[in-house]
Structure 1
């Protein structure tokens, strides 16, 4: 069965504003959801190679393939070489505003008031171009609506296009083959209008209605071009010259956006070529994942790619975690995108205005809070890794770190805006009061353990951050608040962390109060949040212990070790490697930081992409992909290294012009 699945790093990602698709180096689109990134999938072969559904275009005969992005874009090219010739498949999703709508007077196949750009937002294009010789290609169009739960019917319309329609199935109805589960009447994620896909190609695809598959073979010769336009919803057929124009406009859009980054964040993109290419890709991935309507950013565009092959730690990451906000805002500022940072902060700020007890650790991309977890037992899972989950039960957890995240985010961002609003202060006031009342409780930690409830050091650290920044905001903006109480509780949190969270025997801060052995990479954040100076002996001891016990020879850092939750994970967590780089920079240990960063770059895919985790032995990618947190960490570590190259004063108070100051540095520290 493993032979049926590509390695995760053999995929590229394309997308626009609120949609993404994974395209394999074998020419198969194995993951795509419509109409939104968090909607049910229409292709999910990456989670079930037999029944998940795919859209594949690849040579019939033996081939060698490679892929790369069109320079400085999110447009992906896959090249197939056979004995008979070479062909390239170009995949992209148009971006809103990528180009002027030149055919506004045309209204055929278009809803009233809807532009070409808006309609093509729900589309995916595949351009097949003959490079040399002649190549016979197999085309398999196999949509499976609603995570392959809903029956799918294929037919031809009057124009000869293939139309796939999702068939509504009432609770209790039998499926076609009797193997798929019944849909419960209250199934939240089935509560949507049945979808449809329209495939316009000019290719005569043979339609098998029973299996909902359209297949054929086509021969593409040198200089010949074929187009596939896959449109969700209503059809949107256009002449081939418009598709060429749309591709050009999409390429121009990505390059223009990147040009604006480089103009604003000159220092960050002036590294040598190897570093610069990876940072450019990280910036493009981050932009790709930004939800254009709300400004929110998912942790990843996929669900249930496993943290361990064959394991059960498979989660849905198509949501926005509050804890990611502080790192995300820093990364957006670091790449010179103040507009995106401001929009993301506004989304984050509105959540922060909620009553503290109502705050959730994560939210849907449209602000949803009902993220009840559901199992898709009919899918076999990536390389047999089950269960497949949609929704995420962590949304209902108590995670004490989120309150410090919100206060920190407001504290750092208001200095780039028009000062502190009354509503912002009311939020900070309420959050600080809530932390005073609850900081000494147990929680589930940043890692969202489902079987471990403890006094986690990282959670206490963020409670200290909430109180510390609230006090500073009050002092800097002359606001009234119960400062005596906040200062008293801040000192109590500090004493608890220093007395109960540090182990002289382990010579390190530990995972939770009273832990005898458990280490946790979140201890690296202690100097980054300025809880202790980087040259404090305990901080340096912790860094050295993590280097010795949590770091592999090639620079991968495990999240934790010797924990009651899990003794050791199979791979290093990319973001933790970035934290180690940051802590080393702040310590003035620049050679070590530089070496570790270069080792981390070696773990990116051939396209410059990163997953959540990297297997410690064989280097394979693990977890959901591409992982925003990994690329955010890479950008932030580059920011620290860029700042270090410009000054001998560590840690820097401000970076050079155009690059944001490190987010977690306090004013005047």
Structure 2
């Protein structure tokens, strides 16, 4: 199980349809193509022997390594420093028009020396279909083609790299090369995936690589210029915004939850899920962050995707919406275990697909309406038919909101009357009423209003624990739940309401550890899974947001600044923080980065108001 880099020791590159992780060792150890949710070509992050990788690094185990992004871009630079010289490996994916690129995607890996002389090693060991499928290798000069099931990987090298064939792996022929560069010299390779019957990519030349680099740099610079955030944490907010963009599938506008699958919430544990899909909850909550930053085109694109899901006529379960979909809107996400992969540092099972897609989680209707209500114009959904679909959903929800469900955390311990689910059903009706009134749309307002008010009364009476003096996870427990940190953000309670402040105090005592926040206590509220987990980064940032809105500015700022120290070396966050400060879970996670943005904005506003006073 040795040889696995820490999860945090990676940067992310992508082309808005797929993404790759590159470790600080210069190893590309995760890439699924042609889409985020496609089978992997490189997956050494889940099995160092069987997963496949592409290594491009300096041939010196004692080299000092640093990794940075070219400012305000998704171009990753891995620097190797030795007594003999300083070199860099530059990784990026050109961003092509998603409507014309088809299934062709390219990672450019360029090596250069800026001082002295360095020897580099290259090895390219693809393993198609999560390492399950064999491949053939055709090598001719400075070009090679790996042929897998339905997918080809074209490798092109630039002098002085001389590609060699390595048959040591038996059934899997690989590529290797060793080359030396002097100061000022550059060499590199391109990895281009395409359909098996697709045409070979254009010849790889220094001029073409330079043009692709400049176009990619200019794309990201032009995009981030649209960001209107001017607060105290601009660098971190910009990096989070770029990360959210990288995790969005441009052809449909659907954001995924994370770039990876199978990375554990506890090393050696079983909480290893596939996050390469679009959760209604995560994506809908990202809309506010995007709108607040000025990225209305991305927010509108997701709303159109969401409108299509509403108009599609419901999920296979009979609900109007499913909790998650593939990026193209396909609701079928059957879960299976990849028994042949050992998992990150032995964390098995490795799951592909996600069985939680079939769960009942009533909160998604609130998050969907919340996203639609963030629209800047009068029409939250395109045309009358879009509104008709949303109104039909709320009519249906009027008769179906009062049911036990599995809750936001996708526990597998049975259905309960989760307080958060009721809270977000309240949001669904509240925002639907606002949209109807603001846009003069036909609606059964008396029915929606009655449902909204009934939910509020129920939550206040049954979701409140006199014993804990706090709102609790569900109606039959005294366990606390950090999802309720959203209560003031969505307007259910004032951020300074006595009941809310009492709940915040209770969370401080039970869920908060050195400013890091656990989702809930699984020992007190069994979730049907073995093992434990770390603190949840989303909740830690929601905690900052809640503190800021409550006027508790000193602890809010301290907690926020401490959370930023847990970011990795290039500003990325996974899902959780472990007991030793290590990042755990799928990486990078969109939920964490959208919560960072929201917390920064809320804290900026509160600090500005305090300074003005």
> After superposition, where does 1:569-648 map in structure 2 within 5 Å?
569-615=532-578, 617-647=579-609
Shift in Å at residue 230 of structure 1?
A: 1.3
Q: Are residue 550 (structure 1) and residue 511 (structure 2) matched?
A: yes
Q: Are residue 343 (structure 1) and residue 301 (structure 2) matched?
A: yes
- Structure 1 gaps of 5+ residues are 99-113, 169-192, 651-669
| Between 400-409 and 438-447, the greater mean CA deviation after superposition | 400-409
Contact 1:43–1:53 under 8 Å retained in 2: yes
Structure 1 equivalent of residue 60 of structure 2: 61
- Structure 2 gaps of 5+ residues are 195-199
Q: Are residue 365 (structure 1) and residue 365 (structure 2) matched?
A: no
Contact 1:18–1:292 under 8 Å retained in 2: yes
Q: Are residue 10 (structure 1) and residue 2 (structure 2) matched?
A: no
SS of the residue corresponding to residue 254 of structure 2 reads coil
Q: Are residue 196 (structure 1) and residue 196 (structure 2) matched?
A: no
Structure 1 equivalent of residue 114 of structure 2: 131
Distance 2:489 2:380 in 1: 26
Shift in Å at residue 128 of structure 1?
A: 0.6
> After superposition, where does 1:390-429 map in structure 2 within 5 Å?
390-413=352-375, 415=377, 417=379, 421-429=383-391
Change (3 A) 1:250 1:377: same
Distance 1:444 1:305 in 2: 23
> After superposition, where does 1:491-502 map in structure 2 within 5 Å?
491-502=453-464
Distance 1:490 1:426 in 2: 19
Q: Are residue 283 (structure 1) and residue 244 (structure 2) matched?
A: no
CA RMSD, Structure 1 to Structure 2 (Å) = 2.3
Structure 2 equivalent of residue 94 of structure 1: 94
Distance 1:417 1:479 in 2: 10
Contact 2:41–2:52 under 8 Å retained in 1: yes
Count of matched residue pairs = 595
Structure 2 equivalent of residue 218 of structure 1: 179
Q: Are residue 317 (structure 1) and residue 299 (structure 2) matched?
A: no
Shift in Å at residue 358 of structure 1?
A: 3.9
> After superposition, where does 1:154-169 map in structure 2 within 5 Å?
154-157=137-140, 159-166=141-148, 168=149
Distance 1:121 1:15 in 2: 13
| Between 45-54 and 567-576, the greater mean CA deviation after superposition | 567-576
Contact 2:553–2:607 under 8 Å retained in 1: no
| Between 222-231 and 6-15, the greater mean CA deviation after superposition | 222-231
Shift in Å at residue 45 of structure 1?
A: 0.4
> After superposition, where does 1:232-631 map in structure 2 within 5 Å?
232-233=193-194, 234-261=200-227, 265=228, 268-271=229-232, 275-355=233-313, 357-413=319-375, 415=377, 417=379, 421-516=383-478, 518-553=479-514, 555-561=515-521, 562-565=524-527, 569-615=532-578, 617-631=579-593
Contact 1:154–1:213 under 8 Å retained in 2: yes
Distance 2:498 2:31 in 1: 49
Structure 2 equivalent of residue 71 of structure 1: 71
Change (3 A) 1:589 1:420: farther
Distance 2:220 2:600 in 1: 22
Change (3 A) 1:197 1:225: same
Change (3 A) 1:482 1:338: closer
Distance 2:441 2:16 in 1: 39
Structure 1 equivalent of residue 197 of structure 2: none
Contact 1:96–1:121 under 8 Å retained in 2: no
Change (3 A) 1:162 1:473: closer
Contact 2:244–2:593 under 8 Å retained in 1: yes
Shift in Å at residue 594 of structure 1?
A: 1.7
Contact 1:59–1:135 under 8 Å retained in 2: yes
Contact 1:560–1:568 under 8 Å retained in 2: no
SS of the residue corresponding to residue 349 of structure 1 reads helix
Distance 1:458 1:45 in 2: 38
Alignment counterpart, residue 140 of structure 1, candidates 95, 110, 123? 123
Distance 1:43 1:481 in 2: 51
Contact 1:161–1:201 under 8 Å retained in 2: no
Contact 1:502–1:509 under 8 Å retained in 2: yes
Shift in Å at residue 457 of structure 1?
A: 0.5
> After superposition, where does 1:98-109 map in structure 2 within 5 Å?
none
| Between 212-221 and 292-301, the greater mean CA deviation after superposition | 212-221
Distance 1:568 1:42 in 2: 30
Change (3 A) 1:339 1:447: same
SS of the residue corresponding to residue 543 of structure 1 reads helix
Distance 1:480 1:19 in 2: 41
Change (3 A) 1:41 1:138: same
Q: Are residue 44 (structure 1) and residue 39 (structure 2) matched?
A: no
Measured against aligned partners, the alpha-carbon deviations of 1:9-55 in whole angstroms (never above 9, x if no partner) come to 11000111101110000010000112122111100000001111000
SS of the residue corresponding to residue 527 of structure 1 reads coil
SS of the residue corresponding to residue 162 of structure 1 reads strand
Report the TM-score, using the length of structure 2 for normalisation.
0.92
Shift in Å at residue 376 of structure 1?
A: 0.7
